[in-house]
Amino acid sequence: MTKNYNLLSIAIVLAIACQANDSLAAETDTKSDKSDNVEKIVVTGTFSGKSVAKEEASFAISSFSEDDIKKLAPKSTADLFKAVPGVWAESSGGVSGANVFVRGFPGGGDAPFLTVQLQGAPIFPPPTLSFLENSTLFRLDETVEFMEALRGGPNPVVSNGQPGLTTNFLLKEGSEDTEGLVKYSTSNYGLKRIDAVLSGSLADDLYFMIGGYIKSSPGVRDAGFNAEKGNQFTINITKILDNGKINLYTRQTDDYGVWYLPTPLNVEGVDNKYTQIGTNNRQATIQYGNDNTQETIDFGQGRGWKGSVSGGSIDLTLADGWDLVNRFIYTQGDANTYGFVPNGAPTQLASVADNGSSATGAVTGTEYNSSTTVQQIGRWVVKKQIEAFTNDFALTKTLDKTTFTAGFYSSTFSAKDWWALGNQAYYVVESGGEMLTGIDCNDNQDSCGWNYDINSIGDGSTTALYLATSYEISPALTLDGGIRKENHQIEYTVDEGLDGVITKAVSYNESSIAWTLGANWMFDKQQGIFARISDGSKMPFFDDFRDNFGAYQNGEDLIKEVSQYELGYKLADENYELYATTFFNEVKGDTFVSQPGAPAEILTNQAYGIEIDFNYYNDNGFSLNLNSTIQKTEITESPTNVGNEAQRQPNWQIRMTPSYDVEFTDGIYATFYGTLSAVADRYANNENTVTLDGYQKIDAGVLLNLSDQVQLQLSVSNLTDEQGLTEGDPRDPTSPNGRYILPRTLDFNVSYQF
């Protein structure tokens, strides 16, 4: 860490020293002579909440327009995050329930260092609870204008203090012109989807945007029934004032899909199209509690989100250099999980059948012989109700060369969980394979071993005061800094066993301080560097206390401390732009739990690397985006894994996306595009005993504009049907199970814009 700190300090000192040269300062008036490529606006991560030019930002941020998102053709929100440098996103679990990692930060699943914002406010302040990460609560559709992704930087000080990755989605707004779009989508896996959006003016300076979608399909991995269903409706109202604007929105979502889980890797016929769920097993009976209550569940519901996200903002320019920004958001709904979770390796029926030779299908009555491959599957049920209200207020004073910002962030949040995990039984290993009778574990669930049932209620609140300032030393050099004082309170009770007995109770009240220092130096019209030091934390939420209750009882605060150092370079010309960011970070006090109820591993993790984001474009219609991450991770403190690499994350990954525009006669033109992705080997566990091979994936597509109104799009994902793995078996790494990337799919849509 010392070496990286010195490197960063030297860079800042050199930047300041060079400014003493008057002749150089005279040549670097970036405010009056910028290329079009550098002159982009970002809004995420600014202390004031106001937008700034991208070249003035002293942090690493990527932006994706509506057209960018269209070409990427993501299958889910987390699928889009793959295009962000420094991010490793595993979106192979379906429409919900992704795993997202950033810059080598430790983690075993979900997305503990990811915050998803809508209109600049966090949708749900806890970044991860068990069986819920932020991307589950957001669905992409035609109402989205663009997304920004901020890694590190001022993240620990602003918003909810997320030290890792903050993604911010901004909605379309109306204008004086009435505009609209209707789009129909289909696919080779039976997708039927209608999107629509309409915007315009309601009155003078009062604008609206409404839109949404309805969809259904058997799923990318065919479950034999409509396993993915969803609808969403969004309203966005904007009032333009003489000195700013007021915005109000609401977004209602009901969307779910089958949860794809690790599958056997050593069984012939099991590939990336295999899914445990099907018509013959989607209904299953579970039992729970000390009285063995039974309930029949439709596991075809998978994972999803049924709820609403509503909020707004007030953005005002006041007199005498004062600016005010206030953002608020309210989220409530259900994020349930129903899944078939593998428990151990597959085996031959002869080894588990009561008679040693055969068993009978519980649904079809088929007699299966001794050589049939079977696997024990846990039928897991998680019912989760969440609610949160957040308000973020910032007041900024701008002087000649200095700005001062004071902000106050407050949030309340709650989660009610009901779990019945375990409920294991043997199923035939084939897509939608049925349960068998004639096996003691299946016919007498008490003999099947592990179950973990809970009923928990948690309420929490976070309040934070943050102060920040920036100073323009010269037109080319700006320094900034910020500090945040946060108080975090949790009240949480757990009934383990569903017997009415509270086994864990938490009353927590702790505070922490985060800070950041940064510099941005444009030493040439087209080139600049930035440097930043940040120190923040990830506060504990409900699951941290349940999984580490002994540590909490012993007086440990369970706060994960995060230190980060960044040095970035940016170069922009008429035809290209390059953003390169080196980083070093350390996370102390992180915890990893392989399975709910299992002991936690407490560790310290370090990582360093470089992110590359390069774009090239010319007048002949050709463009190229190249983004890559090279990183090295190391576990520096752990009971047994010191010196090992962090699990799940590759040492390098690269994405290259060329695009070519072709103009035909009569105003018809097309855009041909593709993406080549390649990732290195990874370890499936912190012990580094299971290796996941690297892989390459090719996507391709074409956009055909038949007129100004009509557009066709054909996209092919995983063109070569690569069978790469995103994870092994996180609950039992020694078992030969793994989760494949999604198989080859063809998606087609036609849209009419008016």
pLDDT at 214 > cutoff 70: yes
pLDDT at 21 > cutoff 70: no
Predicted local confidence at residue 574, as pLDDT: 85
> What sign has the CA pseudo-torsion 13, 16, 22, 23?
positive
Which runs of E-coded beta strand occur in 665-721?
669-679, 682-683, 691-692, 695-705, 710-717
Predicted local confidence at residue 584, as pLDDT: 98
pLDDT at 33 > cutoff 50: no
Predicted local confidence at residue 3, as pLDDT: 39
Mean pLDDT of 529-542: 96
Task: Give the strand pairing for 114-118 and 165-171.
Answer: parallel
The count of other CB atoms within 10 Å of the CB of residue 562 is 27
The model's confidence at residue 107, banded by pLDDT at 50, 70 and 90, is confident
The count of other CB atoms within 10 Å of the CB of residue 517 is 18
What is the C-alpha R_g of the chain? Answer: 26
Q: Hey, is 471 helix, strand or coil?
A: strand
The model's confidence at residue 20, banded by pLDDT at 50, 70 and 90, is very low
Which one is predicted more confidently, 24 or 343?
343
Q: What percent of the chain has pLDDT over 70?
A: 94
pLDDT at 727 > cutoff 60: yes
For the chain, report the end-to-end CA distance as a whole number of angstroms: 56
pLDDT at 595 > cutoff 80: no
Instruction: Classify residue 557 as exposed, middle or buried by CB count within 10 Å of its CB (0-12, 13-18, 19+).
Output: middle
Q: What is the dihedral of CA 700, 745, 170, 329, to 10 degrees?
A: -160
- Give 654-680 pLDDT, tens digit per residue: 999 999 999 998 889 999 999 999 999
Contact in structure between 602 and 22 (CB atoms under 8 Å):
no
Predicted local confidence at residue 41, as pLDDT: 73
- Pick the closest to residue 315 from 414, 454, 173, 183 (CA basis): 173
**CB neighbour list of residue 14: distance below 8 Å, 6 or more residues apart:** none
Which one is predicted more confidently, 205 or 24?
205
Query: Any idea what the Cα angle at residue 682 is, between residues 676 and 684, rounded to 5°?
Result: 130
Q: Hey, is 131 helix, strand or coil?
A: coil
Q: Hey, is 301 helix, strand or coil?
A: helix
pLDDT at 734 > cutoff 50: yes
Contact in structure between 423 and 378 (CB atoms under 8 Å):
yes
Report the residue count for the chain: 754
Residue 68, CA atoms < 13 Å, CB-side half-sphere: 19
- Pick the closest to residue 331 from 594, 129, 507 (CA basis): 129
Contact in structure between 493 and 505 (CB atoms under 8 Å):
yes
Mean pLDDT of 321-326: 96
DSSP conformation letters of 47-61: SSSS-EEGGG--SEE
Q: Which residues of 23-44 are buried (b: 16+ CB within 10 A; e: fewer)?
A: eebeebebeeebbebbeeebbb
Q: What percent of the chain has pLDDT over 90?
A: 85
pLDDT at 187 > cutoff 70: yes
The rounded distance, in Å, linking the Cα atoms of 344 and 266 is: 12
Mean pLDDT, the chain, integer: 92
Predicted local confidence at residue 4, as pLDDT: 40
Task: Tell me how far CA of residue 611 lies from CA of 1, 82, 566, 630, 642, in angstroms.
Answer: 19, 13, 11, 7, 26
**CB neighbour list of residue 725: distance below 8 Å, 6 or more residues apart:** 265, 692, 693, 695, 738, 739, 740, 741
Identify the H or E element spanning 416.
Answer: strand 402-421
Predicted local confidence at residue 426, as pLDDT: 97
- φ, ψ for residue 54, nearest 5 deg: -60, -35
Mean pLDDT of 97-111: 92
The rounded distance, in Å, linking the Cα atoms of 682 and 645 is: 9
Task: Tell me how far CA of residue 96 lies from CA of 86, 256, 475, in angstroms.
Answer: 21, 7, 46
- Pick the closest to residue 227 from 290, 165, 299 (CA basis): 299
The count of other CB atoms within 10 Å of the CB of residue 752 is 13
Mean pLDDT of 703-723: 97
Torsional class of 157: left (φ above 0), alpha (ψ -120 to 50), beta (otherwise): alpha
At which residue do the structure tokens 């509270």 appear?
A: 502
The rounded distance, in Å, linking the Cα atoms of 199 and 236 is: 9
Domains defined along the chain, listed by start: 2-753 (2.40.170.20)
Predicted local confidence at residue 729, as pLDDT: 92
Partners of residue 616 on adjacent β-strands? 576, 624
**CB neighbour list of residue 387: distance below 8 Å, 6 or more residues apart:** 331, 332, 413, 414
Contact in structure between 678 and 726 (CB atoms under 8 Å):
no
Predicted local confidence at residue 34, as pLDDT: 35
- Give 400-419 pLDDT, tens digit per residue: 999 999 999 999 999 999 99
The rounded distance, in Å, linking the Cα atoms of 209 and 247 is: 11
Residue 491, CA atoms < 13 Å, CB-side half-sphere: 5
- Give 494-517 pLDDT, tens digit per residue: 999 999 999 999 999 999 999 999
Identify the H or E element spanning 436.
Answer: strand 436-437
DSSP conformation letters of 304-358: EEEEEEEEEEEEEE-GGGEEEEEEEEEEEEE--EEEEEE-S--EEGGGT-TTSS-
Identify the H or E element spanning 368.
Answer: strand 367-368
Which has the minimum average pLDDT: 138-142, 598-602, 631-635, 653-657? 598-602
Contact in structure between 124 and 413 (CB atoms under 8 Å):
yes
Which runs of E-coded beta strand occur in 155-243?
165-171, 179-187, 192-203, 206-217, 228-241
Task: Give the strand pairing for 691-692 and 695-705.
Answer: unpaired
Predicted local confidence at residue 17, as pLDDT: 34
Which one is predicted more confidently, 299 or 26?
299
The model's confidence at residue 15, banded by pLDDT at 50, 70 and 90, is very low
pLDDT at 2 > cutoff 50: no
pLDDT at 205 > cutoff 90: yes
- Give 366-388 pLDDT, tens digit per residue: 999 999 999 999 999 999 999 99
Predicted local confidence at residue 67, as pLDDT: 92
The model's confidence at residue 28, banded by pLDDT at 50, 70 and 90, is very low
Q: Hey, is 737 helix, strand or coil?
A: strand
Identify the H or E element spanning 12.
Answer: helix 2-18
pLDDT at 27 > cutoff 70: no
Contact in structure between 673 and 702 (CB atoms under 8 Å):
yes
Contact in structure between 172 and 195 (CB atoms under 8 Å):
no
Instruction: Classify residue 336 as exposed, middle or buried by CB count within 10 Å of its CB (0-12, 13-18, 19+).
Output: buried
**pTM of this structure:** 0.92
The rounded distance, in Å, linking the Cα atoms of 70 and 92 is: 20
Contact in structure between 54 and 61 (CB atoms under 8 Å):
yes
**CB neighbour list of residue 159: distance below 8 Å, 6 or more residues apart:** 115, 117, 120, 121, 122, 166, 392, 409
Contact in structure between 328 and 159 (CB atoms under 8 Å):
no
